[in-house]
Structure 1
Amino acid sequence: MLSILLVRPGATDFDDQRRIKGSLDMPLSECGREQVRRTAQDVSTFHLRAVYSAPCESALTTSAELVAGRDIRVKAIPNFRNVDHGLWHGKLVDDVRRQHPRLYRQGEEYPNLICPPEGETVEQAKQRVFKALRKVIKKHRDGAIALVIPDPLASIVHCILSGEGPKSLWLSEVDTGNWELIELESSDLREPAMV
């Protein structure tokens, strides 16, 4: 059995302000640094075989804290970059709710279908991350590994690994500084269904 620690990096200033960060590369905020310290303490009892990270600064900083004192190198995976929110980068989530109520509702009810202007759909991000996940998981049949991925992409990874449906895009947009354990019985991932 493979144990996967799915770690959301600590918060950035945009997360603290409830702004859409998407694929923007930002450092951790003071709140985010504290979240990372707590997360590193929480997962310190796991004997990790590997740590794979999104290539953004917040994920790499979080990963570095997780491997401190361990004989593990962090491997950055380009396809673990967060969802590209195009022209919505930097917008307040509340502004999208007020200015685009129909799109906001769609992000709550059918997050796989939403596509910000000049961005990518959640479905496109799912297909991209699935390929990278399959390669990582084939390398590890058992033991424990950590995946450090920001939301909303971490929520997409959760859906792929658990088989559960997607949650609201807006809830996952500002979900930071936590982790969950997912146990995989098989290293054979199923291709995610297209919507």
Structure 2
Amino acid sequence: MSTRTLYVARHGAADPFGELTEAGQRQTELLGRRLAGLPVDAVWHSPLPQAARSARILGTSLPDVPVWEAAELIDHVPHVPDEMPAAWAGFFDGFSAAEAASGAALADALTARFACPTGEETHEVLVTHAYQVAWLVRHALDAPPARWLGLSCGNTALTVIQYRDGLAPTVLLYNDMGHLPPELRWTGFGPGVRP
């Protein structure tokens, strides 16, 4: 049975203008070393600069692997709950119905393109954003749409999801930072105690 394996990662730490910081570049280099021993067929990235730069850095560790842009990986809010959790009310304040519909359409495009078997054995790296990682994990677990809200991921943390014909998706790893030294872990999160 053929398996589609997605190695999904949030881009490296970036400044407010989308440029990778020194830490973000180092995080991405370390992720590249981790992925170098795998049979990767393609690296796909969001059009945004922090993801595009991260993908190019990964490409140096995967020299014969094509690096391509995928519009479906763009950063967006994939789902706006009908019943708003109180903790998220401020986040969604002023979010219009048109913005919610656009986000839902982008989320559908993301899962239609990547969250499915391909009919052959493939290994693909997706360099994207925290919300898209959360959406793919939520989708793989068949969790209610609003559950993406509680799934955060760190910069260059690795999530691995497999897809096979006739079977439910399998989440093999989520938010794994084993390739990062302690000082480069947990970036991209708010303040708090981390394991």
Q: Shorter-chain TM-score category?
A: 0.5 to 0.7
Deviates more, 1:36-45 or 1:131-140: 131-140
2:135 is aligned with 1:153: no
Q: What do residues 128-182 of structure 1 show as CA deviations (whole Å, max 9, x unaligned)?
A: 133244234565632211111111222112222343452436x63x732211111
Distance 2:7 2:44 in 1: 10
CA 1:145 to 1:115, structure 2 compared with 1: closer, same or farther past 3 Å?
Answer: farther
Structure 2 counterpart of 1:75, which letter? Answer: W
Q: Given the alignment of the two structures, is residue 105 of structure 1 paired with residue 87 of structure 2, yes or no? A: yes
1:9 aligns to what?
A: 11
Q: 1:175 and 1:28 mapped to 2: Cα distance?
A: 14
How far 1:12 moved relative to its partner? 0.9
- The structure richer in strand per residue is 2
TM-aligned CA distance change 1:80 to 1:42, over 3 Å: same
Q: Does 1:130 align with 2:108?
A: yes
2:93 and 2:120 map into 1 onto residues whose CA distance is: 35
Q: Whose helix fraction is larger, Structure 1's or Structure 2's?
A: 1
The share of aligned pairs that are identical, in percent, is 13
Please tell me the root mean square deviation across aligned C-alpha atoms, in Å: 3.4
Residues 82-123 of structure 1: per-residue CA shift (max 9 Å, x gap): 0169xxxxxxxxxxxxxxxx8761369xx9xx46546834x7
Q: 1:117 to 1:107 in 2, by over 3 A?
A: closer
* Paired residue total: 157
State the partner residue of 1:180. 159
Determine the C-alpha separation between the residues in 2 that align with 1:133 and 1:187: 17
Question: Is 1:27 aligned to residue 19 of structure 2?
Answer: yes
Amino acid at match of 2:44: Y
Q: Secondary structure at the match of 1:13?
A: coil
Give TM-score scaled by structure 1 length: 0.65
Within the candidate set 34, 38, 46, 2:30 is matched to 38
Distance in 2, Cα, partners of 1:115 & 1:128? 20
- Give the TM-score taking structure 2 as reference length: 0.65
**Does the CA contact (< 8 Å) of 1:134 and 1:189 recur in 2?**
no
3-state SS of the aligned residue for 1:125? helix
| Contact 1:54–1:79 (CA under 8 A) maintained in structure 2 | yes
Q: State the alpha-carbon separation in 2 of the partners of residues 52 and 76 from structure 1.
A: 5
Q: 1:39 to 1:71 in 2, by over 3 A?
A: same
| Contact 1:130/1:160 (<8 A) preserved | no
Q: 1-side partners of 2:121 and 2:93: how far apart? A: 36
Which structure would you say has the larger RCO, counting Cα contacts within 8 Å and 6 or more residues apart?
1
Corresponding position: 1:57 with 2:35:
no
Distance 1:187 1:128 in 2: 25
Please tell me the residue identity of whatever aligns with 2:10.
R
Deviation at 1:53?
A: 0.8
